[in-house]
Amino acid sequence: MNQRLILILLLAIAAAVPLSLLAGRVWIDPLAPETRNASVILMQLRLPRAVLALVLGAGLGASGAAMQGFLRNPLADPGLFGIAPGAALGAVLSFWTGYAASTYLLPVFALVGAGGAMALLALIAGREGGVALFTLAGLMISSLAGALMSLAISLSPTPFAMSEIVTWLMGTLADRSWREVWIATPFTLAGIGVLIAAGRSLDALTLGEAAARSLGVDPRRLQALMIAGIGLTVGAGVAVAGIIGFVGLVVPHLVRPLTDRRPSSLIVPSALAGALLLLIADCLCRILPLAGGELRLGIALSLLGAPFFLHLLLKMRRGLA
Amino acid sequence: MSLQACDLGVKERLEALTLALNPGEITAICGPNGAGKSTLLSCLAGLLELDAGHVALDGEWLGRLRPQARARALGYLPQSPEVAWDVSVEVLISLGRLPWRGAPASEAQAAIDDAIAAMDLEDFRHRPVSQLSGGERARALMARVLATRPGWLLADEPLANLDLAHAAALVHRFCEQAAAGRGVVLVLHDLSMAMNHADRVVVLDKGRLAADGPPAQALSEEVIARVWRCPARWLGEPGARALSVG
């Protein structure tokens, strides 16, 4: 069942990539390739953007699936661990200090922020490996990073820096180049690899923590894998594109009924579906006419994701009633 | 495969407990609420850090065994076991194969099929867990433990929330497992079940061993009065006893 799903998703991606390359402010007609600068637009603007959408979408999809498996909760989102806010805080500080102006420093700051959040998480959650403490630690880091971000914004040295920060936080793939692709791809792929390695332990966790331990799962190792996997995928994503929410929440939901529902069989299909969703969403953002530029990807996904989340909650409430 | 607890101590829960359990027997752990039954079972399963003593499997300390080796030997069913995702019965049971990473797929399938047959779940193989009745669910969870093909079955109140018929059917399955040579250790609240079906009963009181022996001896009226602080009388014939309380 899983192989067929993976194949279908791969085919869908193979079909969507060429289409997404043609769409945008300048439409490129493959049958009439005399569009001015067509090859520059394709190779330098749209292709890196498409690849980045696929890479980040895959990272968000896989980390969402792993996160829901780890917390045994369909409402969990990779943002819960506080790693995304940590990375965002790093990026905000690079704007605040003015280092963001130099090419590689913004992503480096964000990755350091993500790393800091991961280290703090590991330190607070400690050796016990309990999921509840872990989640609370993540929430604490999230709110701390959020507060520090607000502080940085309110103390912005210049109005320009403030507007840069606010715009950046909205999350977008506009104006990204191959440089961002090279930064994000190795981290994201490594992160997805780590999450796949955690798959069997996440399966065991389906039966609860005690049963998982009795099946030979080492909670400390699983916790370390989760911190590394989520940290790498989410940290790399925030470093190059800002905060893009809801993919990690929505995608595993859409994919789960098509699998045997074990967390391990959800990770790869979620990665592929996340890639596809982000590619399509980014393409739509590019096409939709909006005064003063294009719709921000992060905003578009939140606008789509919030009603979906509400629908989920209502469905769960009906289930409980 | 022998399982021994030697001078076990867990702070404020268990005190200086020594036990040698035998394979091929059903051992029931009984005692009032808070006596340390679940703690003892967790210790036997190697899931708790001990403050004193050790548990040994075939002479080897559990704490020194690799988690995978321990998981292959000791099947553990927790109290009120949860299933986080609505997987099918077959997928649920296949989780019992997780400690056997690297074993041939044919062996895994055979173990899953055997577990399904042992718990009489053939008709439910592809049914989602959420659509099972309480009794079917309890059997499916037990089958998950059996799929590991462990030498020992350790179950914490496996009969809780089951009606009479389902409880009796599950006890019958445990007897079959013990007859097949497995060691079966059950935490039981129902003293009649322990009296009628266990080969040996271990009675705990406030973290200490209060009685240990054949059911008629370990669950005598005198022990019940002393440990549960409640006058009780056994009615009926051996093997079909009922407890009259008060």
Contacts of B92 (CB under 8 A, 6+ apart): A206, B83, B129, B140, B141, B143, B144
Average pLDDT of chain A, as a whole number: 87
Identify the pLDDT of residue A308. 80
At A275-297, the pLDDT tens digits run 999 999 998 888 887 766 778 88
Contact A261 B98 (CB under 8 A): no
Please report which confidence band the pLDDT of residue B228 belongs to, taking 50, 70 and 90 as the band edges.
Answer: very high
- pLDDT at position B168 over 70: yes
Which two structure tokens, joined as six digits, stand for A82?
Answer: 């506080």
* Structure-derived torsion over alpha carbons of residues B161, B162, B163, B168, reported in degrees to the nearest 10: -150
- A contacts of B101 (beta carbons < 8 Å): 200
Q: Any idea which of A119-133, A233-247, B62-76 has the lowest mean pLDDT?
A: A119-133
Confidence of residue B185 (pLDDT cuts 50, 70, 90): very high
pLDDT tens digit sequence for B123-136? 999 999 999 988 89
Q: A262 and B85: CB-CB below 8 Å?
A: yes
* Helical ranges in chain A per DSSP H: 2-22, 38-40, 47-71, 83-97, 105-125, 131-154, 159-169, 178-197, 199-205, 209-214, 219-241, 247-255, 263-287, 297-320
> Looking at beta carbons, which residues of chain B come within 8 Å of A261?
85-87, 91
- Asked if residue B55 has pLDDT above 70, the reply is yes
Q: Which residues of A touch B98 (CB under 8 A)?
A: 200, 203-204, 215-217
Report yes or no: B158 at the A interface, CB cutoff 8 Å: no
- Which residues in chain A are closer than 8 Å to B148, comparing Cβ atoms? 215
* Distance between CA atoms of residues A8 and A14, nearest Å: 10
Residue in chain B nearest A72 by alpha carbon: B84
Question: What is the CA angle B53-A216-A75, rounded to 5?
Answer: 120
Please tell me which of the candidates B67, B98, B148 has its beta carbon nearest to residue A203.
Answer: B98
Q: How far apart are the first and last CA of chain A?
A: 33
| A217 interfacial to chain B (CB closer than 8 Å) | yes
State which residue of chain B sits closest to A204, comparing Cα positions: B95
Residues from chain B that touch A216, judged by Cβ atoms under 8 A, are 67-68, 70-72, 98-99
What's the mean pLDDT in A158-173? 83
Length of chain B: 246
Check pLDDT > 60 for residue A129.
Answer: no
Q: Is B52 on the interface with A (CB under 8 A)?
A: no
| Nearest neighbour of A204 by CB, restricted to B87, B91, B98 | B98
CA–CA dist B90, B80 (Å, integer): 20
> Among residues of chain B, what percentage have pLDDT more than 70?
100
B83 touches chain A (CB under 8 A): yes
Residue of B nearest to A203 (CA): B95
pLDDT of residue A165: 84
Q: Residues, chain A, total?
A: 321
Distances (CA, A) of A292 to A165, A174, B193: 18, 14, 76
CA B161 to chain centre: 15
Determine the distance in angstroms separating the CA of B66 from the nearest CA of chain A, rounded to an integer.
Answer: 8
- DSSP at A42: I
- Cβ of residue A213 closer than 8 Å to a chain B Cβ: yes
Q: Are A28 and A213 contacting, i.e. CB atoms less than 8 angstroms apart?
A: no
* Residue A205 touches chain B, beta carbons under 8 Å: yes
* CB contact burial A218-228 (16+ within 10 A = b; e otherwise): bbeebbbbbbb
**C-alpha dihedral, A103 to A106 to A111 to A112, nearest 10°:** 110
Instruction: Choose the weakest-confidence range: A19-23, B176-180, B215-219.
Output: A19-23
What pLDDT score does A83 carry?
Answer: 87
Q: Confidence band (pLDDT; 50, 70, 90) for A229?
A: very high
Predicted local distance difference test score (pLDDT) of residue B151: 93
Q: Which of B156, B151, B164 is nearest to B196 (CA)?
A: B164
Q: Does A220 touch chain B (CB under 8 A)?
A: no
Q: What does the pLDDT average to over B210-219? A: 95
Window from A80-84, A249-253, B37-41, B194-198 with minimum mean pLDDT: A80-84
Alpha-carbon distance of A30 to B44, in angstroms, equals: 69
Distance of alpha carbon A180 from alpha carbon A271, whole angstroms? 19
Q: What percent of chain B has pLDDT over 90?
A: 73
Residue to test with chain A: of B68, B85, B149, most A Cβ within 10 A: B85
- Domains belonging to chain A, first-starting first, are 44-312 (1.10.3470.10)
Q: Mean pLDDT across the stretch B17-42?
A: 94
What does the pLDDT read at residue A319?
67
Question: What CA–CA distance (Å, rounded) separates B18 from B1?
Answer: 17
What mean pLDDT, rounded, does chain B reach?
Answer: 92
Please give the C-alpha separations between residue A18 and each of A11, A15, A46, A47, A294, in angstroms, as whole numbers: 12, 6, 10, 9, 21
- Contact at CB, A215 and B47, closer than 8 angstroms: no
Which helix (DSSP H) or strand (DSSP E) does residue A294 occupy?
A: none
Burial A297-321 (b: 16+ CB within 10 A, else e): bbebbbebbeeebeeeeeeeeeeee
The CA dihedral of A71, A73, A77, A79, to the nearest 10 degrees, is: -40
Q: Can you name the residues that pair with B54 across neighbouring β-strands?
A: B6
Tell me which residue in A72, A73, A214 faces B74 most closely, judged by beta carbons: A214
* Cβ within 8 Å, pair B91-A263: no
From B239's Cα to the closest Cα of chain A, the distance in A is: 33
Residue A117: DSSP 8-state:
H
**CA B54 → CA A72, A220, B6, B18, B209, distances in Å?**
32, 22, 5, 9, 16
Q: Which band of pLDDT confidence, cut at 50, 70 and 90, is reported for residue A127? A: low
Please judge whether A214 and B82 are an interchain contact, meaning their C-beta atoms are less than 8 angstroms apart. no
Task: From residue B144, give the alpha-carbon distance in Å to each of A1, A152, B89, B112, B148.
Answer: 22, 53, 9, 8, 7
**Nearest Cα residue to B146 out of B198, B79, B43, B72:** B72
CA distance B206 to B191: 18
A41 or A109, higher pLDDT: A109
> Considering only A29-33, A54-58, A296-300, B21-25, which range has the smallest mean pLDDT?
A29-33
Beta-bridge partners for B204: B209
Cβ pair B84:A206 closer than 8 A: yes
pLDDT of residue A321: 60
| B195 in Cβ contact with B216 (< 8 Å) | yes
Q: How far apart are CA A176 and CA B5, in angstroms?
A: 63
Better-predicted residue by pLDDT, A295 or A248: A248
Among the partner-chain residues A214, A218, A261, the one whose CB lies closest to the CB of B85 is A261
- Closest by Cα among B81, B127, B85, B90 to B109: B90
**E strand or H helix at B194:** helix B191-197
Q: Give the per-residue pLDDT at A80.
A: 77
Q: Comparing A284 with A191, which gets the higher pLDDT?
A: A191
Determine the Cα–Cα distance for residues A153 and A92; give it in Å rounded to an integer: 8
Q: Which residue of A has its CA nearest to B42?
A: A210
pLDDT at A291: 62
Q: Chain A closest CA to B4's CA: distance in Å?
A: 18
* Domains of chain B and CATH, by start: 3-83+149-245 (3.40.50.300)
- Taking an 8 Å cut-off on Cβ atoms, the answer to whether A261 and B101 are in contact is no
User: Rounded to an integer, what distance in angstroms lies between the CA atom of residue B239 and that of residue B220?
Assistant: 14
Do residues B45 and B148 make contact, with C-beta atoms less than 8 angstroms apart? no
Q: Residue B3: helix, strand or coil by DSSP?
A: strand
A16-43 per-position pLDDT tens digit: 998 888 877 777 777 676 667 777 777 7
Contact A261 B148 (CB under 8 A): no
Taking a contact as any Cβ pair under 8 Å apart, which residues of chain B between 194 and 223 contact chain A? Answer: none
Looking at residue A159, what is its pLDDT? 84
